[in-house]
Amino acid sequence: GIQVEQSPPDLILQEGANSTLRCNFSDSVNNLQWFHQNPWGQLINLFYIPSGTKQNGRLSATTVATERYSLLYISSSQTTDSGVYFCAVGSNYQLIWGAGTKLIIKP
């Protein structure tokens, strides 16, 4: 089956810093989503991005489907950005998830 790897596993930054999270996947996919999971477990949709580039405020994402990776950029980090960021890729009817990147933003 498809393997999804996220890096780095943990990231600690000062408020105001920029960061790049990476998601590699092992086969062609028909769907790729980035999520932010808050401390209460709620998964918040960030991007639906099977290919191309999208931006939403301080966040942007790029997926290069032919090279099987996606990047999530967070600029000018805020403490509220803390949490776990998941990449999930679609294979047929299911989402296959990476292990996540745990991001801690220090004030």
Task: Single out the residue of 11, 21, 35, 61 in contact with other proteins (rule: CB under 8 A).
Answer: 35
Beta-bridge mates of residue 71: 22, 62
Query: Binding of other proteins at residue 42 (CB under 8 A)?
Result: yes
Are residues 95 and 87 in contact, defined by beta-carbon separation less than 8 angstroms?
A: no
Quick one: residue 93, left, alpha or beta (phi over 0 = left, psi -120 to 50 = alpha)? Answer: alpha
Position 40 contacts other proteins (CB under 8 A): yes
* DSSP three-state, residue 79: helix
- Shortest CB 16 distance to other proteins, Å: 28
Strands 94-97, 43-48: pairing kind: unpaired
- At residue 3, φ and ψ (nearest 5 deg) are -105, 140
In the complex, least distance from residue 49 CB atom to other proteins, rounded to whole angstroms:
10
CB 76 → other proteins: shortest distance, Å?
26
Closer CB to other proteins, residue 30 or residue 79? Answer: 30
Residues lying near other proteins in the complex (CB under 8 A): 30-31, 33, 35, 40-43, 45, 48, 86, 88, 90, 92-100
